[in-house]
Amino acid sequence: MQTILLTGFEPFGGEQNNPSWLAVQQLDGYQLDDEVQVVSRQLSCVFEKSQQELKAAIAELKPVLVLALGQAGGRTELCFEKVAINFIDARIADNAGLQPVDKAVVTEGPAAYFTTLPVKAMVNSLKQQGIPATVSYTAGTYVCNTVFYALMHQLKDKAKVKAGFLHIPYAPEQAIGKAVASMSVDMVVQALKICLPVALLTTEDLQIAAGTLD
């Protein structure tokens, strides 16, 4: 049996829930087929601890694919992140009360890593099913980007393990009164069921335009 590791975060920034965890929690134990099973884990919204939790989960589960998810309130679509940067600039404190500014994720690490997931093919498969999704070229400078960078750094010599990060919009109940977009947790779950097989089976990503002008 092969394992796909999905991670979601605990709530942060005063929210009651984090839809990234609500979504991946629903898929814990889900079988893509007879050979591939999903295991879901929650990460703390804490700079150091989240990296340790992720490392421990990868060591324990030896996944063939890792997709970390996080909430990005205000985003209008599922955002498959292309690039993780070696930089932290926290606008708010993490859940342990720490607010690092202008720090590296990994001292002496490269400036950035690209995801090893076929993000364009994944986005394409979702759009075809009527689910809003896009490639994003910034994962921010907070805990999500840090976990994404730490993930790619940890797997840099393990070419066979595909890994990446998905930012998701607020759940509808979080968006009330905020005049921002939202997406139901059920739709995120449906999206993962569509794009995970694509991620596993695609060997070369699609060469279609997905960039931004600004």
Q: Where along the sequence are the contacts to ligand PCA (CB under 6 A)?
A: 9, 12, 18, 20, 45, 70-72, 140, 142-144
Cα distance between residue 100 and residue 50, in whole Å: 14
Cα distance between residue 2 and residue 64, in whole Å: 7
Based on the residue annotation, tell me whether 195 is a catalytic residue of this protein.
no
Residue nearest to ligand PCA (CB): 144
CB of 211 to ligand PCA, least distance (A): 21
Q: Position 16: which residue type?
A: Q
Q: Which of 167, 173, 195, 204 is catalytic?
A: 167
Q: Show the tokens assigned to 19.
A: 């839809």
CB of 45 to ligand PCA, least distance (A): 5
Cα distance between residue 58 and residue 53, in whole Å: 9
CB of 19 to ligand PCA, least distance (A): 8
- The nearer residue to ligand PCA, 116 or 136, going by C-beta atoms, is 136
Cβ neighbours around 174 below 10 Å, total: 19
Name which of 155, 151, 22, 166 is nearest 82 in CA terms: 166
- The nearer residue to ligand PCA, 6 or 121, going by C-beta atoms, is 6
Q: How far apart, in Å, are the Cα atoms of 145 and each of 35, 167, 197?
A: 31, 10, 24
Which DSSP symbol is given to 94?
-
Q: Which of 45, 77, 79, 81 is catalytic?
A: 81
- The nearer residue to ligand PCA, 70 or 164, going by C-beta atoms, is 70
Q: Which of 45, 77, 79, 144 is catalytic?
A: 144
- The nearer residue to ligand PCA, 99 or 198, going by C-beta atoms, is 99
Q: 179 — alpha (psi -120 to 50), left (phi > 0) or beta?
A: left
Q: Show the tokens assigned to 150.
A: 């730490």
Based on the residue annotation, tell me whether 153 is a catalytic residue of this protein.
no
Q: Which residues are catalytic?
A: 81, 144, 167
